[in-house]
Amino acid sequence: MMDSQTEILMKTLTDQGEKIEELHQLLRRMDLHAGAQRKGNKTAIHVPAHIKQAVRDAYRHSTTENNLVWTCKTAAGSILKYSSGENKELSEAICVYVKGQYPTTEEGVIKTGIETYFNTIKQRRQMEEDGKKASHNRKMVLYGRKNRKLQNRVKALQAKKLPSSEEDKLMKAMKIDFMSSEDSDSEDETRLITRPLTWLSKDFKSYMDKLDSKYQRQLNAQGKKLRSKRVVGRPSERPCPKKSPDLAWYTQIPDTVDQSHLLRGILPKQWNVSPPDAIIAITGISHQFNIKNKRNLKKDLIEAVKSTGSWIVTCGTECGVVKFIEDAVNEHVTLTEYNIPIVGLLSEGVLDEIEPLKRFIHGKEKKYGKSIIIPVSSTKESLDPNHTQFIFLGDPDMKHLRGTASSECRNAFQRFLSNIKDADFKTKIFNDKPKITEHDTYSKNGQCETNEILPVVLVLIEGGIDALETVLSVLENNNHVVVIDGSGGAANFLSTCYQLVTRFT
């Protein structure tokens, strides 16, 4: 009897392996079709700041002195590249100009800088056509005001000369606050309105107030005038768990930590919440998707979380996901009824990417007789303030190979979900042959202690290529995936594939 069960199980696993390999091939074909390059296959070319500046100078010189222009698309609507025939003369002129200033620079680096600047020009013109330029400029001015607040705090903190470990912890907490703050301009754009975040501890707020007051004493007349235009709005309405002391609302851990002990022991005590009986990871939503029974989907999600005692886990930069969860919580949970931990998973590298560059760009619009000065940052990512906690994962293997903030956070999200399974499965070694326990729980090396398992379920709503890769990572660790058919994108693609496979098997 055991032999027949083993044979059936092995056949099932073989079929599953073949399906995973088919999914791998589909992903590779889709990547090739989209022209995407995987992170491990090709390292992005780094363009130094002085080359970027030289490209901009060359563009201005060539357009004003030689009347050359870049064409972003044809009259028929076809999208052009910097190397297209229509743009070749200007691109070559820029390349010659930069090469003349920096003759030792490789041509590939210069061309990458030209391509990047061309894409910036193309995006700017597209915003003008869509009527979004004014709102974008307003957003960047708001960012500049927020960034000045962060830099003031950084200067005040550095002046205190704290121990390096304490200063580093406070510095990272300030950056998290900067990335997730709910700030907006007043209707007349004269005031910056800050909404207090409910998940920040009183200790942290008190410390930031001290830093602000210390810096205010050093302000000149213009600085004091700007400071007077910063007001506090109504608090964020997002329900949150009980307050945690000090900086306990964010945790920084190595990538290889025992996540079983972390999730069931350390974090619940640190965050003052109940330990999870399951992890529900949600991914895919990049914008407001349309689905007929969205309200029922939200209700079912909350019921699943409450009935299983789960934590919700997301990739920390997926604002669409958290917006969906926020709406679900607000519609189906009251503040006094239940507190749901919503944990954002991030890569350590995302903190490094918000360091502002030491240069500025000037907007064309003028306010009060002066040009807008917009500080340029190396990232446009933000953390959604509706998370209740954050976990930052270190990755020692990726120190010298950085992608974008969103791609690094996506990788951290996948590693975290994979390591839960690796850390939680504890087995007793019998032999090399697979066994089936009385609970039909499969383990490669023996019997599984089911009371130690922390179930992981990934919910896919909409999504793209990145979401498909996350699904693949979860399936390879024998965890479950729930696909919301009809939500669009990757979810519809996987649903169609599943229906085709089951129809002919």
Q: What pLDDT score does 400 carry?
A: 40
Mean pLDDT within 138-165: 80
Could you write out the DSSP letters of every residue in 35-67?
T---TTT-PPPP--HHHHHHHHHHHHHHHHHS-
SS3 (DSSP) at 48:
coil
Segment among 26-40, 63-77, 306-320, 388-402 with least mean pLDDT = 26-40
Q: What pLDDT score does 503 carry?
A: 72
SS3 (DSSP) at 105:
coil
Q: What pLDDT score does 332 carry?
A: 62
Q: What pLDDT score does 403 carry?
A: 55
pTM score of the predicted model:
0.53
Q: What pLDDT score does 93 carry?
A: 93
CB within 8 A of 492, min separation 6: which ones? 485, 486
pLDDT tens track for 336-384:
456 778 888 877 766 665 544 333 333 333 333 333 333 333 344 566 6
pLDDT tens track for 98-130:
999 999 999 999 999 999 999 888 888 888 887
- Which has more pLDDT, 251 or 315? 315
pLDDT tens track for 66-93:
889 999 888 777 888 888 888 999 999 9
CB neighbourhood size of 399 (10 A): 10
CA distance 434 to 437: 10
Mean pLDDT within 191-214: 70
Q: What pLDDT score does 447 carry?
A: 37
pLDDT tens track for 261-282:
778 778 888 777 888 888 898 8
Q: Which domains does the chain have, with CATH numbers?
A: 49-131 (no CATH), 133-237 (no CATH), 242-424+455-505 (3.40.50.450)
CA distance 262 to 20: 30
What confidence tier does 427 reach under pLDDT thresholds 50, 70, 90? very low
Beta-bridge partner residues of 427: 448
- Which has more pLDDT, 170 or 223? 170
Mean pLDDT for all residues in the chain: 70
What confidence tier does 308 reach under pLDDT thresholds 50, 70, 90? confident
pLDDT tens track for 23-69:
666 666 555 544 544 444 445 678 888 999 999 999 999 998 888 99
What confidence tier does 439 reach under pLDDT thresholds 50, 70, 90? very low
Tell me the torsion sign for CA atoms 332, 334, 337, 343: positive
Q: Which parts of 236-369 fold into alpha helices (H)?
A: 259-261, 267-271, 294-308, 319-332, 349-352
- Which has more pLDDT, 186 or 210? 210
CA distance 385 to 86: 45
Backbone angles phi, psi at 235, to 5 degrees: -65, 155
SS3 (DSSP) at 174:
helix
